[in-house]
Amino acid sequence: MAANYNEKLLLNYVPVYVMLPLGVVNVENVFADPETLETHLKRLKEEAGIDGVMVDVWWGIIESKGPKQYDWTAYKTLFQLIARLGLKIQAIMSFHQCGGNVGDVVTIPIPKWVREVGESDPDIYYTNRRGTRDIEYLSLGVDNLPLFAGRTPVQMYSDYMSSFKENMLELLEAGAIVDIEVGLGPAGELRYPAYPQSQGWVFPGIGEFQCYDKYSKSEFKEAAAKAGHPEWDLPDNAGEYNDKAEETGFFKTNGTYVSEEGKFFLTWYSNKLIFHGDQIIGEANKIFAGLKVNLAAKVSGIHWLYNHHSHAAELTAGYYNLYERDGYRPIARMLSKHYGTLNFTCLEMKDTDNTAEALSAPQELVQMVLSKAWKEGIEVAGENALETYGTKGYNQILLNARPNGVNHNGKPKLRMYGFTYLRLSDTVFQENNFELFKKFVRKMHADQDYSGDAEKYGHEIVPLKTPNSHLTVEDIADAAQPSGAFKWDTETDMKVDG
């Protein structure tokens, strides 16, 4: 009887992964300190019962020597070590620069030979209205232009993923690599670099639109002319990084954002981002189809100004999300075409974490985004946005992992697919921190022992299927209709301090 009850409880299990340090393979492509990592991972596995790790696989390291000159040696050694310890791997295809975002402690630029193209043609980078370039990721305006030794960015990303597959096939077939998260923008997120700290942005600034490179500009003019409005232009009244929304012509009450011209721009800007994701995830799907692996994409948790009528910070990042327009379900619809998982962030945050002027609402945002993904029939995974070692953050993550709590009779209606903890560091192992972390993992596992068999908790990975239909503009418009969120309990029934 007890065994049967435990089997039912196990269907509430949410696996926990830990993000490895950013420079675990350093910028010289050396796996520098395997001994310390092994010691840490053994403790996390044996004492805390974690399920696996997530690791950035940096384009800027692997293909640094020149076009198609890939060197996977260090990563192979790293992955073999992880697999030998019985941990699963979530691999991020990191096509962005490390450095310039929250928590970036090392600098890993995109490949030098790619940046050299930018020296003579800086429009390959995302650009704000003043003409400042953001060099952490190539602009989606050049996605299909063969500017890089005859290849387009989409081809470069595709070739890289193909090489990853060839070199890691043994680990993929053995089931050691369970997730391929495809980097689609700065910080690996599907977004525009609207709030770069390297350019002086500070929280909770509105950010800036990033489509003023010559390629994006001419695409917009073409689209406007096609729509019968050749006079429409990219916004020139949306302010600067740290302005307040109400002080700008674009985001103020009854500002440009609600005009026909504003709506046309925002639709164009957000659709470009979604189709960018669709194309690159589509390449990943072709490459990994037939293998037992999940595809995922990460969406940024832009919780500030969520309670401003304009949602300015979301709009500048490319999420066209308003009270009467859904900015996240269209992304989930795109991912559903490729059988992809939506990975979201800021799961540890509460509305009270920030000052009133930030107009921040992470709880509502998380509920909204997770609900939309579930309504589209896809899985949702997530992570914390900032370092988390305390009871409050852990309990909030537990609530989001199972919004209506544990179901003692089987699989809960709402359950996240997995959680990735940011990030492995010495601080995690400080005595009180580690005790609490162990409790957190236990509660994520629904008070059950570690299970190495994903099938037991309803997560059997099936061979990746190819899309049966392609994303259309109509799909996006349909998914953008507002549809409400599921109801969350007020607190988790699995508190770490309960």
Q: Hey, is 135 helix, strand or coil?
A: strand
Consult the annotation and say whether 107 binds a ligand.
no
Considering only CA atoms, which of 296, 281, 340, 347 is closest in space to residue 89?
Answer: 296
Contacts 24+ apart (CB under 8 A), 355-358: 357/204, 358/203, 358/204, 358/304, 358/305
Q: Helix and strand tally (H, E) in the chain?
A: 15, 10
Sort 257 into a burial class: Cβ within 10 Å, 0-12 / 13-18 / 19+: buried
Consult the annotation and say whether 96 binds a ligand.
yes
Consult the annotation and say whether 276 binds a ligand.
no
Q: Hey, is 108 helix, strand or coil?
A: strand
With b for 16 or more beta-carbon neighbours within 10 A and e for fewer, the 49-71 pattern comes to: bbbbbbbbbbbbbbbbeeeeebe
Determine phi and psi for 157, rounding to 5 degrees: -65, -40
Cis before 423 (ω within 30): yes
Q: Hey, is 363 helix, strand or coil?
A: helix
Is 261 catalytic? The answer is no
Considering only CA atoms, which of 180, 182, 183, 187 is closest in space to residue 89?
Answer: 180
Consult the annotation and say whether 56 binds a ligand.
yes
Q: Which of 189, 208, 314, 376 is catalytic?
A: 189
Consult the annotation and say whether 298 binds a ligand.
yes
Residue carrying the six token digits 């009467």: 324
Considering only CA atoms, which of 81, 71, 68 is closest in space to residue 29?
Answer: 71
Which tokens belong to 114?
A: 């790619």
Consult the annotation and say whether 6 binds a ligand.
no
Cβ atoms < 10 Å from Cβ of 452: 9
Sort 122 into a burial class: Cβ within 10 Å, 0-12 / 13-18 / 19+: middle
The C-alpha R_g of the chain, in whole angstroms, comes to 22
**CA distances (Å), origin 75, targets 78, 89, 367:** 5, 12, 36
Consult the annotation and say whether 26 binds a ligand.
no
Q: DSSP for 397-439, please give it.
A: HHHHHSTT---TTS--SS--SEEEES---GGGGSHHHHHHHHH
- E-assigned strands of 59-212? 88-94, 125-127, 133-138, 177-182
Q: Are 68 and 32 in contact (CB under 8 A)?
A: no
Tell which phi-psi region holds residue 305, choosing left (phi > 0), alpha (psi between -120 and 50) or beta: left
Q: Are 89 and 55 in contact (CB under 8 A)?
A: yes
Is 364 catalytic? The answer is no
**Known binding residues for substrate:** 56, 96, 104, 298, 303, 345, 384-385, 423
Q: Catalytic residues, which ones?
A: 189, 383
**Known binding residues:** 56, 96, 104, 298, 303, 345, 384-385, 423
